[in-house]
């Protein structure tokens, strides 16, 4: 989500002329209508059997490790340094609650091993004779993840108050939209790129207006975001095709193709680039729009040229740090893979040429280009809107509730 900036004096505000607000409104309407039409056309139908692998649909249950006997089994000769353990697990839920089973677990010398009392997730399969057959799926991390999410929510709300709370609601809306619309539509066979574009637009409208209020500043940021997102999408399409990417850059993609062959993996790659870039773009555009508004409040004599130049200076610093953040984020996510390549004695060019790495390179560079382009686009649009605005003294007493004054930023009118 973007970051709101509200440091101007409560006694002074900017009023956007009705004519400018109407222009912003009519500029936005076609995109809103197109998004609604896209959602209606691409909305997934009733759930149907897509031929998904039985292993993905096996019911899962909570379980607990009763015992982990290190050295209870022998590792293969080619993995003599590994540690083999016999793990005993007790099923804690489901039709076979209380049942125990064992499995062998092979771990590297520095890998985390099972310990008595570990909470795990197991899946239930059925043998040809109809007997239950359980197997280990993963550790149960639901409680620590929930605890971390609660800490995050408390920190955000404590610092940003109402805006932080609305941002959290926006996060929930985004995740819900991905679960309810994006994934089912792609699994149904709809074009992943089209689904991602429509979903990104819908998420952007909902979350930005929710967190930052329905006003000219947010509308300006949204228009800048859409322009940069269009450029990002065009570059992604060009270079994914030019680079002959297949979408099979990971084991997950290959497994998905086997489990759901109707999914277009190349389109899925493009859609991922669009959605991933949106998360950074809205932050930059909101910040740029807010910066221009604050600059005008600090110096009402600034015109379009002065506002643009000052805003660009702020944007350069923001972009420099954000691009580096993008690169480090993707490098961090791919660190095990990069280390694997480094021990394979392959040259740097050969490593980058591998599709699994090249996908991240294209994702980073295309997203960064869109990010850089969003700064001048949003700054110019914001400067043009703000230059037409006029300062006015706020009313001595505002009868609106505090939550409404904060949400509307108390400095401008709706577009």
Q: Write down the pLDDT at residue 413.
A: 45
pLDDT at 3: 47
Q: What is the mean pLDDT of residues 81-104?
A: 90
Q: What's the rounded mean pLDDT across residues 325-331?
A: 73
For residue 393, what pLDDT band results from cuts at 50, 70 and 90? very low
pLDDT at residue number 107:
84
Question: Is 337 or 158 the better-scoring residue by pLDDT?
Answer: 158
Note whether 405 and 162 are within 8 A (CB).
no
pLDDT-above-90 percentage for the chain = 35
How confident is residue 131, by pLDDT bands cut at 50, 70 and 90? confident
State what percent of residues in the chain have pLDDT above 70: 86
Using an 8 Å Cβ cutoff, are 70 and 63 in contact?
no
The average pLDDT across 324-344 equals 73
Is it the case that residue 335 has pLDDT exceeding 80? no
405 pLDDT tier (thresholds 50, 70, 90): low
What is the number of other CB atoms lying within 10 angstroms of the CB of residue 308? 22
Lowest mean pLDDT, pick from 210-219, 246-255, 384-393, 405-414:
405-414
Pairing of strands 83-91, 60-70: antiparallel
Answer for the pair 73, 104: CB distance below 8 angstroms, yes or no: yes
- The 3-state DSSP composition of the chain as helix, strand, coil percent (nearest 5) reads 60, 15, 25
Residues 280, 282, 288, 293: what is their CA dihedral angle, to the nearest 10 degrees?
Answer: -160
* 132-139 and 12-15 beta bridge pairing: unpaired
Tell me the per-residue pLDDT of 182-220, one tens digit each, with 9 for 90 and over.
989 988 888 898 999 999 999 999 989 988 888 899 999
pLDDT at residue 353 is higher than 90: no
Burial class (CB in 10 A: 0-12, 13-18, 19+), 414: middle
Q: Which residue has the higher pLDDT, 150 or 110?
A: 150
Residues 224 and 242: their CA atoms lie apart, in Å, by 27
Query: How does pLDDT run across 261-290, given as a tens digit for each residue?
Result: 777 888 888 888 899 888 888 888 998 999
**CA 208 to CA 170: how far, in whole Å?**
8
Mean predicted confidence (pLDDT) in 365-379: 91
Q: Which of 132-136, 285-289, 388-392 has the lowest mean pLDDT?
A: 388-392
Residue 10 has pLDDT above 60, yes or no: no
More confident residue, 257 or 306: 306
- Check whether 410 has a pLDDT greater than 50: no
The pLDDT confidence band at residue 147, using thresholds 50, 70 and 90, is very high
**Mean pLDDT of the residues in the chain:** 82
100-107 and 119-126: which strand pairing? unpaired
- Residue 100 contacts by C-beta under 8 Å, 6 or more apart in sequence? 66, 88, 89, 90, 91
For residue 363, what is the DSSP state?
H
Give the pLDDT confidence score for residue 412 in this predicted structure. 47
Stretch among 1-10, 107-116, 227-236, 374-383 having the lowest mean pLDDT:
1-10
Q: Which of 190, 255, 219, 215 lies closest to 15, judged by CA?
A: 215
Question: What pLDDT, on the 0 to 100 scale, is given for residue 340?
Answer: 72
- What is the rounded CA–CA span in Å between residue 296 and residue 294? 5
Contact 141, 88 (CB under 8 A): no
* pLDDT score for 211: 83
Q: pLDDT tens for residues 18-63?
A: 888 889 999 999 999 999 999 999 998 865 554 455 556 788 999 9
Selected residue with higher pLDDT from 301 and 153: 153
What CA–CA distance (Å, rounded) separates 187 from 393? 55
* Alpha helices by DSSP H, 262-303: 265-298
Distance CA 6, CA 56 (A): 48
Token pair 């897509």 is found at: 50
Q: Which residues contact 154 (CB under 8 A, 6 or more apart)?
A: none
């Amino acid at each position: 989500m973007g970051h709101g900036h509200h440091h101007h004096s409560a006694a002074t505000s900017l009023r956007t002329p009705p004519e400018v607000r109407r222009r912003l409104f009519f500029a936005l309407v076609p995109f809103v209508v197109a998004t609604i039409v896209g959602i209606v056309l691409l909305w997934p139908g009733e759930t149907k059997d897509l031929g998904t692998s039985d292993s993905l649909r096996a019911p899962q249950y909570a379980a607990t490790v009763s015992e982990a006997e290190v050295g209870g089994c022998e590792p293969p000769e080619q993995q003599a340094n590994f540690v083999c353990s016999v793990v005993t697990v007790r099923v804690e839920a489901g039709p076979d609650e209380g049942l125990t089973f064992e499995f062998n677990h092979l771990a590297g010398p520095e890998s985390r091993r099972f310990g008595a009392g570990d909470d795990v997730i197991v899946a239930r399969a059925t043998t040809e004779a109809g007997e239950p057959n359980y197997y280990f799926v993963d550790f149960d991390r639901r409680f620590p993840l929930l605890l971390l999410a609660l800490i995050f929510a408390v920190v955000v709300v404590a610092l940003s108050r109402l805006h932080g709370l609305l941002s959290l609601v926006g996060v929930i809306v985004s995740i819900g939209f991905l679960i309810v619309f994006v994934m089912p539509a792609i699994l149904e066979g709809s074009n992943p790129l089209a689904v991602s574009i429509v979903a990104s637009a819908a998420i952007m409208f909902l979350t930005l207006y929710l967190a930052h209020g329905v006003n000219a500043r947010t509308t300006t940021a949204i228009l800048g975001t859409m322009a940069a997102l269009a450029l990002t999408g065009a570059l992604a399409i060009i270079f994914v095709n030019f680079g002959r990417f297949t979408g099979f850059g990971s084991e997950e993609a290959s497994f998905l193709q086997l489990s759901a062959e109707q999914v277009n993996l190349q389109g899925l790659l493009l859609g991922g680039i669009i959605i991933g870039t949106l998360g950074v773009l809205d932050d930059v555009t909101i910040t740029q729009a807010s910066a221009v508004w604050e600059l005008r409040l600090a110096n009402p004599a600034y015109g379009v040229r002065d506002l643009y130049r000052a805003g660009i200076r702020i944007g350069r610093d923001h972009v420099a740090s954000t691009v580096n953040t993008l690169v480090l984020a993707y490098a961090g996510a791919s660190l095990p893979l990069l280390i694997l390549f480094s021990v394979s004695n392959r040259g740097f060019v050969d490593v980058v040429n591998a599709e699994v790495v090249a996908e991240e390179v294209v994702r980073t560079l295309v997203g960064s280009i869109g990010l850089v382009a969003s700064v001048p686009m949003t700054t110019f649009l914001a400067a043009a809107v703000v230059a037409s605005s006029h300062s006015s003294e706020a009313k001595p007493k505002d009868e609106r509730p505090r939550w409404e004054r904060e949400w509307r930023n108390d400095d401008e009118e709706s577009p």
